[in-house]
Amino acid sequence: MANKSLQRALGAIVLAFESFIVFFGTLVSFGLKVAQAEIVWAVGLSLAILMIITPAILGRKGGYFFGSALQVIVLFLSIWTIFKDPAGYVFLIISIIFIGLWAWAMIAGSTIDAAKRALARKNEQQGEIND
């Protein structure tokens, strides 16, 4: 079995689901007319597309930082929306939920990956002792 990173897998899952939420949030923002239609679509679709392609760089240098930056952008946009329409409070709650999921994915994933590496080292050492 190949050595796969659980942190990367969990982060990719969170970003993939969040991209759908961002897309639907874009539809809601368009309907509520929180900004000019062109701006709403440009920002919303760009963010959704970035969230779909970001898993390709997770695990590389700066990949997790970029994913975290996307979380901050979504949080900022949800706070900004509050000033345009009360529906922004729902956006804020959803963005906080996804920030929590992202944090959990990063912490739990890295912890489990570290435990798997430690177990692999221990098994290698046991194999060397038995040889």
Spell out the domain ranges in the chain.
7-130
pLDDT of residue 93: 97
Distance CA 17, CA 14 (A): 5
What mean pLDDT do residues 87-95 have?
94
For residue 34, the 8-state DSSP code is S
Identify the sign of the CA torsion 107, 59, 5, 126.
negative
What confidence category does residue 1 fall into, taking pLDDT thresholds of 50, 70 and 90? very low
Cα 29 to chain centroid distance, Å, stands at 21
Judge whether 68 and 100 are in contact, CB under 8 Å: no
What confidence category does residue 28 fall into, taking pLDDT thresholds of 50, 70 and 90? very high
pLDDT averaged over the chain? Answer: 92
**Lookup: tokens for 115:** 């435990």
pLDDT of residue 2: 56
With 0-12 / 13-18 / 19 or more C-beta atoms within 10 angstroms meaning exposed / middle / buried, residue 109 is: buried
Judge whether 7 and 105 are in contact, CB under 8 Å: yes
pLDDT in tens, 51-63: 999 999 998 899 9
pLDDT in tens, 43-90: 999 999 999 999 999 988 999 999 999 999 999 999 999 999 998 999
